[in-house]
């Protein structure tokens, strides 16, 4: 495939080697306008906004990835394979499952369990375990400690379903010490592995499945600064 792609209007060289990827394109816009200097918008196709600028002298891009593994699967694949991106850091929201996480906690996905069939395309003779790049993960933990931001590191769930007909599913994942549920990390980690590139998922707990607490849509878009700043520092 040539660039621009059907999903990304950027030309060669317009995207940095490291891309921060929230699901919400308006969160990408917020990061660009709040933290980056000399910002250029490289994509507006399908309103999946993408920007490149500098942060403390480092060239960084930020782009929305959409909801679900098919969506981030497309955008991350094209960034890795067609735009020569080396690192993608997902900055997203998640629903808490474990008692060890609470509202607004920053969770770093060391592994991403999944109920998705995404890995079937690789025709592997077994079950693939999607994991984060250790170097990015280590830097994120060290940076959070330096910034005095508490993080919880462990296994998350990337689910294909938001409204599940299986009412026992959350309890079963909870028994396996899954920290939180989101919908993208496993596909991102698999795309990175297949491309020989790096990926990390940093999440903020926006709601908790068992306590019933939840943040507003505006809070999700505008107030996840701890997660954003960790990602920017390691980019």
The pLDDT confidence band at residue 4, using thresholds 50, 70 and 90, is very high
Give the domain ranges of the chain: 18-234
Within 10 angstroms of residue 189's Cβ, the number of other Cβ atoms is: 29
The reported pLDDT for the residue numbered 221 is 64
Positions annotated as catalytic residues are 207
pTM (predicted TM-score): 0.97
- The CATH class that applies to domain 18-234 reads alpha beta
Q: Tell me the per-residue pLDDT of 25-36, one tens digit each, with 9 for 90 and over.
A: 999 999 999 999
Average pLDDT, the chain: 96
Q: Give the distance, in angstroms, between the CA of residue 80 and the centroid of all CA atoms in the same chain.
A: 15
Residues 6+ apart with CB under 8 A from 43: 8, 9, 10, 49, 50, 63
The reported pLDDT for the residue numbered 188 is 99
Q: Tell me the per-residue pLDDT of 68-88, one tens digit each, with 9 for 90 and over.
A: 999 999 999 999 999 999 999
The reported pLDDT for the residue numbered 217 is 78
- Averaged pLDDT, 3-28: 97
Does residue 223 surpass a pLDDT of 70? no
Determine contact, residues 32/61, Cβ cutoff 8 Å.
Answer: no
């Amino acid at each position: 495939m040539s660039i621009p792609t059907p999903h990304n209007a950027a030309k060669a060289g317009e995207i940095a080697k490291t891309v921060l990827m929230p699901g919400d394109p308006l969160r990408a816009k917020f990061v660009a306008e709040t933290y980056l200097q000399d910002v250029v918008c490289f994509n507006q196709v399908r309103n999946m906004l993408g920007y490149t600028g500098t942060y403390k002298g480092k060239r960084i891009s930020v782009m929305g990835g959409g909801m679900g593994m098919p969506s981030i699967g497309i955008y991350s694949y094209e960034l890795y394979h067609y735009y020569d991106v080396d690192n993608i850091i997902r900055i997203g929201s998640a629903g808490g499952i474990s008692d060890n996480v609470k509202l607004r906690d920053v969770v770093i996905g060391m592994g991403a369990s999944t109920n998705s069939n995404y890995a079937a395309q690789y025709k592997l003779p077994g079950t693939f375990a999607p994991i984060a790049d250790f170097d990015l993960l280590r830097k994120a933990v060290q940076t959070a400690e330096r910034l005095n931001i508490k993080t919880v590191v462990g296994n998350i769930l990337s689910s294909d379903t938001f409204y599940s007909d299986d009412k026992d599913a959350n309890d079963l994942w909870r028994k396996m010490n899954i920290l939180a549920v989101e919908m993208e990390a496993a596909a991102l980690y698999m795309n990175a592995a297949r491309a020989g590139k790096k990926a990390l998922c940093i999440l903020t707990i926006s709601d908790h499945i068992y306590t019933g607490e939840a943040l507003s849509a505006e809070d999700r878009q505008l107030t996840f600064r701890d997660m954003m700043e960790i990602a920017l520092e390691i980019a």
